[in-house]
Amino acid sequence: MAKMMPNEAIPLTVRNAAPGDLAALTALSQKTFIDKFGPLYTPEDLATFLQESHGEAAYQAYLADPENFIRVAEDHTGKLGAYLLCSPLSLPAESALPGAVELKRLYVDSPLQGRGLGSRFVDEALAWARQRGAPEMYLSVFSENEGAQRLYARYGWEKVGEFMFPVGRHEDLEFLLCLKL
């Protein structure tokens, strides 16, 4: 069911992603990653990572898997501006409970930031996890992404570990966060 964001000059529709969103979702995924983190990496490392982790094949697999929960926000022209991806747990959470899930990605394009989409998508991710009966939800966040860390802390996520996350040949320190449901 699509819902309009209240009190905004340009209304947004938030809905489940569909196979027809593949190209737009892939493009948004790459753009938002580059906008947020691109300057941290060499062009070669960035290109390798985008192809492997944010390429069309990756999103085609995410969209095809009914275990995943993918939401998008689009404007009145149909242009995607934000997305949420949740999945069964794939992070290196050594003491995860059976049935734990993951908030894999949540990105909002710059023009739409500050409109509450991040919080809305976190709420939707938590509702999805609870509806599945998941005992806990994990996510990873770049150790230097303090804005995202503050958002997740407001919801009660707690740091339970660290690991190195490869972006091409480069490795970033990631914080592993967990929220008991």
Secondary structure of residue 21 in the 3-state scheme:
helix
Low-confidence ranges of the chain (pLDDT < 50): 1-7
pLDDT confidence of residue 72 = 98
Phi-psi region of 163 (alpha: psi -120 to 50; beta: other; left: phi over 0): beta
Side-chain-facing half-sphere of 158: CA atoms under 13 Å: 5
Class of domain 3-139 as given by CATH: alpha beta
Identify the residue whose tokens are 């490795």.
Answer: 171
pLDDT confidence of residue 11 = 86
pLDDT confidence of residue 9 = 65
pLDDT confidence of residue 2 = 47
pLDDT confidence of residue 5 = 42
